[in-house]
Chains A and B, each alone.
Chain A
Amino acid sequence: MTGFLTLLYKELLRFWKVGFQTVFAPMVSTLLYLMIFSHVLEAQVEAFPGVAYTAFLIPGLVMMAVLQNAFANSSSSLIQSKITGNLVFVLLSPLSYREIFFAYVLASVVRGLAVGLGVYLVTVGFFDVAVASFPWVFLFAFMGSALLGAIGIIAGIWADKFDQLAAFQNFVILPLTFLSGVFYSLHSLPPFWQQLSHLNPFFYMIDGFRYGFFNASDISPYISLGIVVVCFVAVSWVTLRMLKSGYKIRH
């Protein structure tokens, strides 16, 4: 247990030491999104009946920050350690592949939640957003960041250079988050795009998270949670297999 806790502590210390970049910068960019979109669209859109657009937007942006930062944490930590070579210190140690997996995933969860909480706390100072159900909010934030943390491990191990990791982030993670209903309700889309959006696992994370705020969502939070859990189990299985076989890290 000490080995696992140490790796977790090291991963937390790593992002905390560069907190301006890893926690405060994402908070600022998320708040900028919020100010601009709410200003432009407040008068025109009402996503759910009786829910103002800004109120609708806030949970989406918070969750987007949670997911992106969870992904960024494990992926950038791993690729940095691979490229600078200091991953060797973890690989030489008696840590098992499971301990490595859970330490990186949990560190991602903590960073995701820290950024999400930060964004939320700042927004409640300016806007009126009440949380209807904390358990749902926490559950989706936790599972979503764990899933993205695991995907981040895959990307960090797979990528040989920063360039490839950036490609993964910009061509996979970013479109999936932007097209998941952060900025709009799926019901506002034409039927074809609605159907397509249902194939995007990020949609369920955002939609379920938002349910925790409004007790209203595009689909049932139980279905969303089920889908997120299934995705997490599937991605974790792949990640654990990669770590166990030593893919790209124990040649």
Chain B
Amino acid sequence: MALAIEVKRLRKSFGALHALGGVDLEIEAGEFFALLGPNGAGKTTLINIIAGLTLATSGSASVMGHDVVLDYRQARRMLGVVPQELVYDPFFTVRETLTIQSGYYGLKNNEAWIEEILHQLDLVSKADANMRALSGGMKRRVLVAQSLVHKPPVIVLDEPTAGVDVELRQGLWRFIRQLNRDGHTIVLTTHYLDEAEALCNRVAMLKQGHIVALDSIRNLISSVSTCSMRLRLSPDILPTVLQPLMSEREEGFHILTLNGYSQIEDVLAALREEKTCILEMEILQPDLEEVFVTITGTAGVTRAAAFAS
């Protein structure tokens, strides 16, 4: 079975800027995969090279075993791409847009499938409206529809939910998950780590053009061994020996960062020694966001500023 996407020693420089510095990546057919990373990490450059929108400086990329340069026709037939920008052709209606897009892939008489996609993406009522007349969310759905006209086995979504309202986002994910169950390989980039955590089997984290982590989400989370402990104490004084572990102080609560579960015993022992009672205790698991922050080293930036942009 060919790999859905295979990238070998891929480099891309824009002048002095090295957008990608030798990336290797293999994505199996049927995976639900996420590319994560801060702005400017090289996610879109990587996707653009796979899609043939950008030419690599060196290295190779292939889709379902077809090289994206040497065998670009086959590679592009295997790939559906949802661009990050809300682009559309203002001259045409939704249906014309999809019919034209089908034609580019050599498909005549694609009406039945187009109807099906329109239905799935809840676009039937807008099918004959001009693209200009659609809201941003509707345009986003048309972009998804356009990427599917040729039933590609591999679908790449570049930040599909940026600037999309909650309802549409959920609908979109339901549909994309369905596509994945039907056997499509899904690759997405996102800033919303909770989405990646909820949907994906594996993630790659990019930083400054390099993959800094590549694993299943479970393995990544367990690789970051820290957990935190939330304590309400009586008296409300943290023993001196535990002060170095303290990471945050909430109303009535002390939050400690531990290097692992084994450290819990030390904390309890120290509290016993000081005759401090535990009124409430909670152990907090790390999530993908913490892994991300730890690995990409963007600690100290709040979630809103770092990821919701």
Q: Using a CB–CB distance below 8 Å, which chain A residues touch chain B? A: 2-3, 5-7, 9-10, 13-14, 17-18, 81, 84-86, 88-96, 246, 250-251
CB 8 Å contact bits of B87-119 with A (1 = contact, 0 = none)? 111111000100011111111100000000000
For chains A and B in complex, what number of residue pairs have CB atoms within 8 angstroms?
78
Task: Say yes or no: B87 contacts A84, CB within 8 Å.
Answer: yes
Closest to A77 in B: B91
If over half of A's interface residues share one DSSP class (helix, strand or loop), that class is named, otherwise mixed; here it is helix
Write out the residue numbers on chain B whose beta carbons fall within 8 Å of the beta carbon of A96: 73
Task: Say yes or no: B53 contacts A88, CB within 8 Å.
Answer: yes
> Which of B76, B89, B96 sits near A84, CB closer than 8 Å?
B89
Task: Say yes or no: B89 contacts A3, CB within 8 Å.
Answer: no
Write out the residue numbers on chain A whose beta carbons fall within 8 Å of the beta carbon of B91: 13-14, 17-18
Instruction: Return B25 CB to nearest CB of chain A, in Å.
Output: 20
Given contacts A93-B105, A94-B104, A95-B104, contact A250 B52 (CB under 8 A): yes
Tier of interface size on chain B:
20 to 34
Write out the residue numbers on chain A whose beta carbons fall within 8 Å of the beta carbon of B107: 2
Closest to B48 in A: A251
- Compute how far the CA of A215 lies from the CA of B265 in the bound complex, rounded to whole angstroms: 105
Instruction: Return B76 CB to nearest CB of chain A, in Å.
Output: 4
Write out the residue numbers on chain B whose beta carbons fall within 8 Å of the beta carbon of A14: 91
- Of the candidates A2, A81, A89, the one having the most CB atoms from chain B within 10 angstroms of its own CB is A89
- Compute how far the CA of A94 lies from the CA of B102 in the bound complex, rounded to whole angstroms: 11
- Compute how far the CA of A18 lies from the CA of B89 in the bound complex, rounded to whole angstroms: 14
- Compute how far the CA of A81 lies from the CA of B87 in the bound complex, rounded to whole angstroms: 10
Task: Say yes or no: A88 contacts B100, CB within 8 Å.
Answer: no
Asked if B55 CB lies within 8 Å of chain A CBs, one says: yes
Asked if B193 CB lies within 8 Å of chain A CBs, one says: no
Closest to A96 in B: B73
Write out the residue numbers on chain A whose beta carbons fall within 8 Å of the beta carbon of B146: 89
Task: Say yes or no: A94 contacts B55, CB within 8 Å.
Answer: no
- Compute how far the CA of A84 lies from the CA of B139 in the bound complex, rounded to whole angstroms: 14
Closest to B130 in A: A17
Given contacts A2-B108, A250-B52, contact A92 B76 (CB under 8 A): yes
Closest to B131 in A: A86
Query: Which B residues from 24 to 75 make CB contacts under 8 A with A?
Result: 51-55, 72-74
